[in-house]
Chains A and B, each alone.
Chain A
Amino acid sequence: MNLLDFVCTDAIVPDLKPAGKEDAIAQLVASLKDAGKLPGDEEPAIVAAVLKREELGSTGIGNGVAVPHTKHPAVDRLTATVGLVHEGIDFASLDGEPVYIMILLVSPPENTRDHLRALETVSRHLKNDTFCNFLKQAKTADEVVELLREADEGHIS
């Protein structure tokens, strides 16, 4: 599975300026909604579901990366977006460090296989320091898309 198979390129936010963790998640969900990936009236429910998952333990997996995610019946297929926080944000991460890269994933409850493959794809690429460093420096959505493509094609090592 490739990143660009499920990341919605129209929903990428290259310059998030969130008031906090909750706001960052809300802005990314809003961006998916604006891109037409989820119905507007379900937006608060999806934000709440993502935050509920965070309660079990932060999805800030370290290395400046967070992967907030949930399953929700409002989407009929797996969708995701990327948000970059250049100032960094406190995400209660496992390593206590601020988060600069957020990848938010929402999938339908039935499709457990794609959901797990997507999480695996994301965490595999984000273990790559070079990829993360490039991503942190990206300033526009196009640059982010280009980096995702290069990562998918195995050009970043």
Chain B
Amino acid sequence: MNVVILGGGTVGTSICKVLGTRHNVCLVDPDPEVLEIAGEQLDVQTVKGSACDAVTLFQAGVQSADLVLAVTSKDEINLVGASLSKSMGARRSVARVFNPSYLDSSTFDYRRHFGIDRLLSLERLTALELARSVRMRGMFVLENLVRGGVEVQEVAVETDSPAAGVPLKDLKFGPGVLAGVFVTDGVARIPNGDDSANAGDTVTLIGTGDSLEEAAKRFRKNVPPKLLVVIGGGGEIGFNLARVLSKGRFSVVLMEGDRDRCEELATKLDSVTVLHGDVTRRSEMEEARVDRADVFVAATGRDEDNIVCGVEARELGAGRIMSVVRRPDYANVLGKLGIDVAVSPRSVMTRQVDGMVQTGAVLARFDVAGNQAAVYEVEVREGCDLIGVPLKDAGFRGALVAAIDREEFVRVPGAEDMLKAGDVAVVLAQADAAEGVLERFEAQG
């Protein structure tokens, strides 16, 4: 596959590292020093110049690229570079953007205007990755699919819980929630409306929006106590993390050093306690009651601050420590300092990119129900013979389409809904049925 990467910062070079050995990669950057290092250390070609310059892009070969990734540190350069590349013939172009307004299409649809296939916010994706780590407890799976549009959660059915023994059709989950797999005595099945889960079973729930947590709660007898999460830093990552967590069973405290930003955060986040405080000062950390926190997440814009306040939080007695660390060089010392989880935007990005360079229709896969079933993100391509067929007539056995991501809107489909070219389908399949079902997405009519 031919891949062109615009921007040789930490994100761009780490993508080069991952893809360089397996694909033809060309890196574009205006800085000769960056290119020299990349050329020496990574298995990539380099072109010096601006990502917005058509001549540079021609030299880099965007016209025959399967994928162009615009990942400079400037949103506007990424938008223009990805847009030009697409017009010049790239099969797929993706731009990294920071400004949340560019991701929102309600007033103006930037993605469509620029003709870009996908806009990605590393800050949002990083927040989702952190949220996943915060919420994951015990051995139960929790996954985010289609950039957080769909969540998968497993829950063990407790004796005397409200939903135990009740037929699925009578449970009336919110719109957007689907009970995907029941596991009884180690045997998985995709349930129908008359099926019920009993104490001791495991249920895999798939859903969009906030209703998943509500549904999961009904399989538990006692609602577990709310965990206290203190987030240091109210930038895009901290804000998105606070928003995701505040919907679930968490008390969230968000510390931010800038007073104006605090006010803004407080109006946007109703159920989050926003504190004006500096995470690098011990006294202010104490005031935020970091000592009582079950989880402390360091999410400021500076790696060094995130490491230092992570260590401080550990000293104060916080339960688990998570830090956002952008520079790869720090990875070694984190464990030694007592930081339990480090999440870096660049590793989050490389995972996304992995999906984009798949040659088949399957973009991602997550095992659920003790590996007896899996959830797949599958691209619906032009010519696939499932297009235009109502899902109820598609004849899936041991599998179902749990969600459809169309035009960046994710929804749980009904029986009459049909797939369209360009959709990403979230498919849940039992292990024994997966191969047959996935083949149908590969088939070209």
Interface residues of A (CB under 8 A from B): 41, 44-45, 48-50, 52-53, 55-57, 69-73, 92, 109-110, 112, 116, 119
Contact = CB atoms under 8 A, between A and B. Distances in A.
Interface string B407-424: 111010000000000000
B236 to A, nearest CB: 12
B209 interface: yes
A116 B108 contact: yes
A39 B101 CA distance: 27
Nearest to A69: B106
Contact of A45 (B112, B113, B411): B411
A109 B267 CA distance: 28
B175 A44 contact: yes
B106 A70 contact: yes
B100 A56 contact: yes
Given A109-B407, A110-B407, 20 more contacts: A41-B175, A44-B175, A44-B209, A45-B175, A45-B209, A52-B106, A53-B107, A55-B268, A56-B100, A56-B101, A69-B106, A71-B105, A71-B106, A72-B409, A92-B267, A109-B408, A112-B108, A112-B112, A112-B113, A119-B107
A109 B111 CA distance: 11
Interface residues of B, number: 20
A56 B104 contact: yes
Given A53-B104, A56-B100, A73 B175 contact: no
Contacts of A48: 209
Given A41-B175, A45-B411, A55-B268, A112 B109 contact: yes
A53 B108 CA distance: 11
Contacts, number: 44
Interface of B: 100-101, 104-109, 112-113, 175-176, 209, 267-268, 406-409, 411
Contacts of A41: 175
A116 B113 CA distance: 12
Nearest to B105: A71
A53 B106 CA distance: 7
A109 B113 contact: no
A112 B407 CA distance: 13
B109 A73 contact: no
Contact of B107 (A45, A69, A73): A69
A70 B109 CA distance: 11
Contacts of A109: 105, 109, 407-409
Contacts of B105: 71, 109
Nearest to B407: A109
A12 B409 CA distance: 27
B104 A52 contact: yes
Contacts of B106: 49-50, 52-53, 69-71
A48 B411 CA distance: 13
